[in-house]
């Protein structure tokens, strides 16, 4: 893996996409195997505790599902867990061709690429979580996943529900999985219209706020001010970042700052992220952090996908072992 550069760089013929998961990937005990076994993870969590003023090192090991579900805790907890795994992989020789993050996951992706510091990323996501929680308390919002229906028909269902309230596409997760977000009644109406149009099912998501829709504009001004005072560097040329807002590569630190602002109210274009990576070319996918959602999305969006997840001790140990044995990293599906 050493010596590889980003897509289009000298000598690049293949590579791996490092994928960082977003909100919803959290689970009780998600960092227990990291903090118990790896000193670098303990050190990173200690730094995160200090930066956020929250006992993340305890919450991510023994915290309840209810405690983890508080969005001002969920967001820094996922970012810290993901970056702890990232540091372990990097120390073992992991050198991806590119990186990307699903919504919240874009923050650890930017840290990995040298755009944001750990301190800035954690302060921003802690504020982001608090502001999103405020919207959740003030607006009767909801999100739902529409399965088995093309995205353009889901968008049409949202348009048809506009008379009930605001509802918009929030996530283009895979070709036949699209998430909608907005006022609760409007989400229900759009979901019913999607079922009438042939969707296999509509699943309400267990989230605390209507993410990635215009309802988040209420907190955009305060979050923009916080973004403005943090330093953003240009991405490492050897580790480009694919934005989940545009599905394209992030060209500068200033663009990264603007994309994080837009991310509040605009949809996650994960299908475009995966296709951008595959064109440049990426031939393997590593989900870095808790959960296995992104590995599954890659497998259902692209053909002949080789994917690793690292969300538990067994899978992480397996990947670390492969890195130690083979510097070229030829991952298999797990």
Please give the pLDDT value at position 330.
44
Residue in 102, 212, 280, 308 annotated catalytic: 212
Q: In the chain, which ranges are continuous DSSP H helix?
A: 32-37, 39-52, 56-62, 65-68, 71-91, 106-112, 118-138, 151-160, 184-196, 220-228, 253-262, 270-279, 293-301, 313-325
Give the pTM: 0.92
- Rounded to whole angstroms, the Cα distance separating 233 from 9 reads 20
Is-catalytic flag, 212? yes
Please give the pLDDT value at position 209.
85
Check: CB of residue 94 under 8 Å from CB of residue 1: yes
Low-confidence ranges of the chain (pLDDT < 50): 1-13, 328-334
Residue in 25, 57, 82, 103 annotated catalytic: 103
Check: CB of residue 242 under 8 Å from CB of residue 249: yes
Instruction: Return the bridge partners of 19, or none.
Output: 100, 287
Check: CB of residue 114 under 8 Å from CB of residue 317: no
Answer positive or negative: Cα dihedral of 88, 234, 20, 282. negative
Structure letter (DSSP) for residue 143: E
Per-residue pLDDT of 2-26, as tens digits, reads 333 333 332 233 589 999 999 989 9
Tell me if the bond preceding 32 is cis, omega within 30° of 0: no
Q: How many CA atoms lie within 13 A of 125 on its CB side?
A: 31
- Please provide residue 179's backbone torsions phi and psi, each rounded to the nearest 5 degrees: -100, 135
Please give the pLDDT value at position 263.
97
Please give the pLDDT value at position 329.
44
Residue ranges of domains in the chain, CATH in brackets: 16-136+215-325 (3.40.366.10), 140-208 (3.30.70.250)
- Rounded to whole angstroms, the Cα distance separating 220 from 226 reads 10
Is-catalytic flag, 103? yes
Please give the pLDDT value at position 191.
98
Per-residue pLDDT of 178-213, as tens digits, reads 999 999 999 999 999 999 999 999 999 988 789 999
- Rounded to whole angstroms, the Cα distance separating 142 from 185 reads 8
- Rounded to whole angstroms, the Cα distance separating 6 from 11 reads 9
Question: What number of residues does the chain have?
Answer: 334
Check: CB of residue 306 under 8 Å from CB of residue 42: no
Contacts of 304 (CB under 8 A, 6+ apart): none
- Rounded to whole angstroms, the Cα distance separating 313 from 296 reads 19
Please give the pLDDT value at position 247.
98
């Amino acid at each position: 893996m050493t010596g590889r550069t980003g897509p289009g760089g000298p000598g690049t013929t293949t590579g791996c996409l490092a994928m960082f998961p977003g909100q919803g990937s959290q689970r009780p005990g998600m960092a227990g195997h990291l903090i118990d076994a790896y000193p670098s993870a303990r050190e990173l969590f200690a730094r995160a505790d200090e930066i956020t003023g929250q006992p993340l090192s305890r919450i991510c090991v023994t915290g309840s599902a209810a405690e983890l579900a508080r969005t001002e805790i969920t967001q820094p907890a996922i970012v810290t867990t993901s970056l702890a795994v990232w540091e372990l992989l990097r120390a073992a020789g992991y050198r991806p061709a590119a990186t990307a993050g699903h919504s919240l996951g874009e923050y650890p992706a930017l840290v990995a690429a040298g755009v944001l510091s750990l301190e800035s990323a954690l302060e921003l996501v802690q504020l982001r979580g608090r502001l999103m929680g405020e919207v959740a308390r003030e607006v009767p919002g909801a999100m739902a996943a529409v399965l088995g229906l093309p995205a353009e028909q889901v968008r049409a269902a949202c348009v048809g529900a506009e008379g009930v309230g605001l509802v918009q596409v929030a996530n283009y997760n895979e070709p036949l999985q699209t998430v909608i977000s907005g006022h609760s009644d409007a989400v229900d109406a759009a979901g019913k219209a999607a079922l009438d149009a042939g969707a296999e099912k509509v699943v309400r998501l267990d989230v605390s706020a209507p993410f990635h829709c215009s309802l988040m504009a209420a907190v955009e001004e305060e979050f923009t001010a916080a973004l403005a005072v943090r330093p953003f560097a240009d991405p490492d040329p050897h580790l480009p970042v694919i934005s989940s807002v545009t599905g394209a590569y992030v060209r500068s630190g200033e663009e990264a700052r603007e994309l994080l602002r837009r991310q509040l109210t605009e949809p996650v274009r994960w299908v475009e992220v995966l296709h951008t990576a595959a064109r440049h070319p990426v031939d393997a996918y590593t989900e870095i952090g808790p959960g296995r959602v992104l590995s599954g999305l890659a497998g259902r969006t692209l053909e002949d996908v080789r994917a690793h997840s690292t969300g538990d001790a067994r899978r992480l140990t397996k990947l670390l072992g492969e890195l130690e044995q083979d510097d070229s990293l030829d991952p298999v599906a797990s």
